[in-house]
């Protein structure tokens, strides 16, 4: 059993730890504070037994587009609908704001993530070369909601 809620400042260390354990890119921890300060309404966490098991961060690009910056699920909780649930919660918030275009980038080699997003209605729209810190390519994926 888990629940999804807005990120709170006391979640910071748990989110940073989860990001370092699950995401390929290595982020300066201060970026999470920036995202909270700037995109607070699009920063959600999922928790189980008072432990953060997932987070998602979205950024409002303009009045009609949101970009998903990060989505992370603890390895122990993958394939248990946590990712689907937190993504759908973010989409509900986006719809309430009157925004219907969502975009994200995903590594072209990350077949698991690509399939996850495709099952949730996202489509590959473009490819960007040398996008990540290590030189890997990314797909741009989009969804109209």
| Residues belonging to the active site | 117
Report residue 68 CA to chain centroid gap: 5
Element of type H or E holding 33: helix 30-39
- 1: which DSSP letter? -
Q: What share of the chain is helix, strand, coil (3-state, %, to 5)?
A: 35, 35, 30
């Amino acid at each position: 059993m888990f629940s999804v809620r807005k990120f709170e400042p006391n979640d910071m260390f748990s989110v940073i730890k989860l990001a370092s354990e699950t995401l390929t890119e290595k982020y300066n921890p201060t970026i999470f504070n920036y995202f909270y300060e700037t995109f607070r309404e699009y920063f959600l966490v999922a928790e189980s037994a008072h432990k953060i098991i997932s987070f998602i961060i979205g950024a409002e690009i303009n009045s009609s587009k949101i970009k998903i910056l990060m989505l992370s699920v603890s390895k122990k909780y993958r394939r248990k609908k946590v990712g689907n649930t937190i993504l759908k919660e973010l989409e509900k918030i986006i719809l309430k704001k009157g925004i219907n275009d969502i975009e994200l980038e995903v590594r072209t080699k990350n077949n698991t993530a690509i399939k996850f997003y495709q099952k949730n209605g996202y489509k590959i729209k473009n490819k960007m070369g040398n996008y990540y810190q290590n030189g890997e390519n990314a797909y741009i994926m989009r969804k109209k909601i």
